[in-house]
Amino acid sequence: MSSELNKLLCAILSAFLVYLLASFLSELIYKSEEKKKIKLSYYIEKPELAEPNTNKNSEKTKITKITESELTQLLEKANLEKGKIFVNKNCASCHDFNMPIKNKIGPSLANVLNRKIGQMENYKYSKTLLNMEKEWNILNLYYFLEKPKDWAAGTKMSYRGITDSSKLLNTIKFLRENSLKNEN
Spatial distance between the Cα atoms of 5 and 151, rounded to a whole number of angstroms: 69
In this structure, the number of other CB atoms found within 10 A of the CB of residue 147 comes to 18
Q: What percent of the chain has pLDDT over 70?
A: 80
Parent domain of 97: 68-183
- The per-residue pLDDT for range 25-34, each reduced to its tens digit, is 888 787 655 5
Non-local CB neighbours of 6 within 8 Å, separated by 6+ positions: none
pLDDT of residue 108 exceeding 70, the answer is: yes
Question: For the packed helices 80-90 and 165-183, what is the interaxial angle rounded to 10 degrees?
Answer: 90
- Predicted confidence at residue 3, as pLDDT, reads 87
Q: Is the pTM of this model over 0.75?
A: no
Same domain, 138 and 81: yes
Tell me: do 106 and 148 sit in the same domain: yes
- Per-residue pLDDT of 3-40, as tens digits, reads 888 999 999 999 999 999 998 888 878 765 555 555 54
Q: Are residues 86 and 177 in the same domain?
A: yes
| Cβ pair 83, 174 in contact under 8 A | yes
Q: Is the same domain home to 24 and 72?
A: no
Given a cut of 70, whether residue 141 has pLDDT beyond it is yes
Total number of domains in the chain: 2
- 176 and 87 co-located in one domain: yes
Contacts of residue 109, defined as CB under 8 A and 6 or more positions apart, other chains included, come to 91, 95, 96, 97, 175, 178, 179
Q: Quote the CA–CA distance of 100 and 110 in Å, as a whole number.
A: 8
